[in-house]
Amino acid sequence: MKLYNTLTRTRDEFVTHEPGKCTMYTCGPTVYHFAHIGNLRSYIMEDVLEKYLRYDGLEVKRCMNITDVGHLSSDADTGEDKMLKGAKREHKTVMEIAQFYTDAFFADCKKLNIKKPEIVVPATSYIPEFIEMVQGLLDKGYAYIAEGNVYFDTSKLDEYYVFNKHDVEDLEVGVRDGVEEDTAKKNKSDFVLWFTKSKFEDQELKWDSPWGIGYPGWHIECSAISLKNLGEYLDLHCGGIDNAFPHHTNEIAQSEAYLGHKWCKQWFHILHLNTQSGKMSKSKGEFLTVSLLEEKGYSPLVYRLFCLQSHYRKSLVFSWEGMDGTKTAYNKLISRIASLKLDSNDAVEEEKFNALKAKFKDAMDNDLNTALAVTALYDVLKSDANDATKTALIADFDTVLSLDLIEEAKKAQAAKADAAKAAASGELMIVCGSDGVDESLKAKVEGMIRDRADAKKAKDFAKADAIRVELSAMGIVLKDSKEGVHWTLA
């Protein structure tokens, strides 16, 4: 498989340190607020990558941290603690906030069919490991203590800006934001490994350390957690593109200084999901969540497909029109799959199966081209293969795409069978065509639709019309068919 590597700036053949096995590290969420759908774009693409590596035969060991301490509102070492900001906003303790938003994050992931990594480590559970690593860096001469904090000394490295040609100007972002410059640093690019001198006095979470009571810098988290769980040679490190600098740059600096050798060869970065007005960001406070998508009637899997339809290395602009288009495409896809005989006992046609599977693999092997992989799915439907072959291929691709294609198609088939049965027995069939409709609203609407049908039967057309008008005022659109009544939210 070829994957773009931010470190070499080329598409490299992905080779793991140990044949057949892959260690994969993912920078996890900062749990001071809900994840926005931009964050989740990154986790969807990482999920697809993990699943494809497994599909391709690799044994993947994946680890993710949960940033529940020490992540500042600027990516530099300045600004307010994001966790503390969340706690103040919601009048809760920092740990309550962390637990609540960690659970919320995994609940969103579940809805999006994002598999939970087998190893998930909250930063606050690894304080001794961080201290050990910081001490190691001090012992090796890569770190220094100044005005109470421990800093990494970037001047000790042959190369610090490993990903691209950043310069010191980039490090002044925090300063331009009106945050005081840290005069204790020897070099502008140095970063904090351990704080004892907090920029904010009411820091809640603090631990004892050889350098005084304090808390870890953000970057040390991922290095220490990764080294402990995945070993000295990491195969693959992932994150959104904003993580490349300074976060991943600092992770590389401290990990390689500590280990005395190269650490991770392959860096996978996902470009951002933007709104039409610019970057979606948690710290701006205005962002879209999975719950909001559901409230607006979009299944989370429609958003997953929206992400899969574009390449991870292109920034993606979110729009409701785009979501509408994807929703239509998803529903059409499901109904095309539902028109297959999904439980066919025919033999799978091996040659056709292999040829169509090769298209899917070629797309994914080509720098995880999920858009082409989705096209390969349509190629299956268009092909002259028998239904057993098509069903087997769709199920096979969906182990990676995770769009619940067979399950949803089976549901659609069952609904159709129910409708046919109801029509044959003269019973009124009511089908709701919108996702995520509140159960009490559903019950109310269905009751009104039945009353309308009864009124029609009794030839009380004035009453039937009045009910339709009332439903329309409630934002309900009705479509009568010979099977029954289909309704949606306008």
Binding site for ligand AMP (CB under 6 A): 27, 29-30, 38-39, 41-42, 67, 239-240, 242-243, 270, 272-273, 279-280, 282
The set of residues, in sequence order, having a beta carbon less than 8 Å from that of 305 and lying 6+ positions away, is 326, 329, 330, 374, 403
> Which lies closer to ligand AMP via its Cβ, residue 171 or residue 316?
316
Burial 235-268 (b: 16+ CB within 10 A, else e): bbbbbbbbbbbbbbbbbbbbbbbbeeeebbbbbb
In the set 1, 22, 27, 138, which binds Zn ion (CB under 5 A)? 27
| 373, interface contact from ligand AMP, Zn ion, none, CB < 5-8 Å by kind | none
Residues binding Zn ion: number (CB under 5 A): 2
Phi, psi of 461 (to 5 degrees): -70, -25
Residue with CB nearest ligand AMP?
240
Q: List the Cα angle 281/66/130 in 5-degree steps.
A: 120
CB 449 within 8 A of CB 428: yes
d(CA 66, CA 333): 36
| 242, interface contact from ligand AMP, Zn ion, none, CB < 5-8 Å by kind | ligand AMP
Q: In the bound complex, what is the minimum distance in angstroms from residue 365's beta carbon to ligand AMP?
A: 24
For the chain, helix (H) and strand (E) counts, in that order, are: 16, 17
Is the peptide bond between 29 and the residue preceding it cis, with omega within 30 degrees of 0? no
CB 49 within 8 A of CB 197: no
Q: In the bound complex, what is the minimum distance in angstroms from residue 62's beta carbon to ligand AMP?
A: 14
> Which lies closer to ligand AMP via its Cβ, residue 75 or residue 398?
75
CB 341 within 8 A of CB 394: no
The set of residues, in sequence order, having a beta carbon less than 8 Å from that of 47 and lying 6+ positions away, is 112, 113, 114, 115, 402
Q: In the bound complex, what is the minimum distance in angstroms from residue 231's beta carbon to ligand AMP?
A: 22
Q: In the bound complex, what is the minimum distance in angstroms from residue 369's beta carbon to ligand AMP?
A: 18
| 308, interface contact from Zn ion, ligand AMP, none, CB < 5-8 Å by kind | none
Q: In the bound complex, what is the minimum distance in angstroms from residue 416's beta carbon to ligand AMP?
A: 38
3-state secondary structure of 159: coil
Whole-angstrom CA distances from 366 to 24, 363, 372, 384 are: 19, 5, 9, 26
| 131, interface contact from Zn ion, ligand AMP, none, CB < 5-8 Å by kind | none
> Which lies closer to Zn ion via its Cβ, residue 222 or residue 323?
222
Chain positions 194 to 253 lying near Zn ion, rule: CB under 5 A, are 222
> Which lies closer to Zn ion via its Cβ, residue 27 or residue 333?
27
Q: In the bound complex, what is the minimum distance in angstroms from residue 22's beta carbon to ligand AMP?
A: 19
Using rule CB under 5 A, residue 45 touches Zn ion: no
> Which lies closer to ligand AMP via its Cβ, residue 214 or residue 239?
239
3-state secondary structure of 429: strand
| 430, interface contact from Zn ion, ligand AMP, none, CB < 5-8 Å by kind | none
> Which lies closer to ligand AMP via its Cβ, residue 243 or residue 254?
243
Q: In the bound complex, what is the minimum distance in angstroms from residue 120's beta carbon to ligand AMP?
A: 14
| 222, interface contact from ligand AMP, Zn ion, none, CB < 5-8 Å by kind | Zn ion
> Which lies closer to ligand AMP via its Cβ, residue 85 or residue 361?
85
d(CA 375, CA 308): 11
> Which lies closer to Zn ion via its Cβ, residue 127 or residue 403?
127
Closest-CA residue to 66 (of 35, 102, 116, 97): 102
What residue type is 53 in one-letter code? Answer: L
Contact footprint for Zn ion (CB under 5 A)? 27, 222
